[in-house]
Structure 1
Amino acid sequence: MIKWVAAIFGFVFFRFSGAIVGFIIGSFIDNLTFKNTGGFKKIFEQEARVTPGDFELNLLSLSSIVIKADGQVNQTELDYVRQYFVSAYGKERANATFRTFNEVIKNREISAQRICMFLAQRTRYAARLQILHFLFGIANADGSVSESEAREIQKIAGFLRLNFSDFESIKAMFFKTAGHAYKILEIEKTATDAELKKAYRTMAKKYHPDKVQHMDEVHIKGAEAKFKEVQKAYEEIQKERGLG
């Protein structure tokens, strides 16, 4: 961009020869700016990664929003969250997270939008899909996901910049309604057998546990659970259509 501006100024004051000199000097400045910007961008991206402590507190905050979504605090859901955190981070670290949450955050107004914007800028898409799966797991801990819980999780999914089709896919893993297998694979019932096979491969790749290998073991297990649901959905449709 700078090279063209410099070329124009060079032409105005020194005609054709000035335009050439201006273009050369501008190109040099453009390259220097690009390299510097790239370096800063790389550093910023590295620094922007969410720290484990921040991730845990924000995940716990989102958990509290889902637990309160239906207007009551269910002990089964609380136990699910505690067990999940202990499995993921160990008892001592989990207790420290709960203690910090109770002391600093619990009595404040928690903004799902602000938390999700923070996480969306600092986590990979696959990790955010795992967060969504975890939140549905909380809601389902008492045996069913209420409509109010589903609506709250849908809002969180939007704030996390997750595609609506991905939200519907994971929701269908917990809502076993008619046609849920198709929703899990993100296709219509009218999809051809070839489209079915392609959708299965796409979803298996999206939910493959390797996508979250950088996360804790419990998150990897969550990815494995989603991966199995995709396989089950595919097998269910195959059986329904008399394939394989």
Structure 2
Amino acid sequence: MNTKFSIKGKLVGFALGILISSNILGGLIGLLIGHILFDRLATNDNEEYFIEDSLYVENTNIITFIIKLCYGLVNQKEDILLTEVDTIKQFLRKEFGIDKLYISKVDLIFSNLMDDKSNLNVDSVIHSINHYCSYDEKQKIIELLFVVAVSDKNISKEEIDYIHNVYHKLKVKLNDYLKIKNKFIKEELEYYKILGVNESATDAEIKTAYRKLVNLHHPDKVKEADYDKEKFQQIVKAYNELKKFKRIH
């Protein structure tokens, strides 16, 4: 409670009571009214500061968790590019409505993580995000990871594996994950089409489809006149790429 504000309220109430009633009793009544009214104002004032401070702490925590998750992604490469850090800032502003006060912390958090890599525990970060963030926000985080991964025009197997692991632990539904993923890795959809399976096909279903197509188009299985080299190469490439994307063994 704001003590100075409360004392001033009592004094003002006492003085007004004396002026209006011209006696001590009126002053005491005024003091009581001043105590009630100004104490309530002081309490409300402090509550507003507390709420603002709590929101600041919560927003700062969420930003820290998201940035740590992004750092874990870009750390899959040898170098962290400035464009990747800028991409994170822009996405946080646009999709999360984070203002400049919080955005300014991105560079500092990245710097601290680079100085002390032991400070990054991805599983702990994911646990915190599951606690603080809504399902929609978690989908946005997955999208952010893809945005960062493709910001250098080249998404690696390690980055795909990392994002796949995060999506699974954030408990994002497979269909929602695939919708996000397909915005950035369009060629993967084509690989599914070549093998004649849908995106949610299991590893076993993909392997079965691949083997059937290989048996149909392999040069040892068809007449030379019927052999389509380009078609066969597409089938092999599609399967090999899906092995990478889906981590099929």
TM-score (norm. length: structure 1): 0.48
Q: Is the radius of gyration larger for structure 1 or structure 2?
A: 2
Q: Which has the higher contact order (CA 8 A, sep 6+)?
A: 1
TM-score (norm. length: structure 2): 0.47
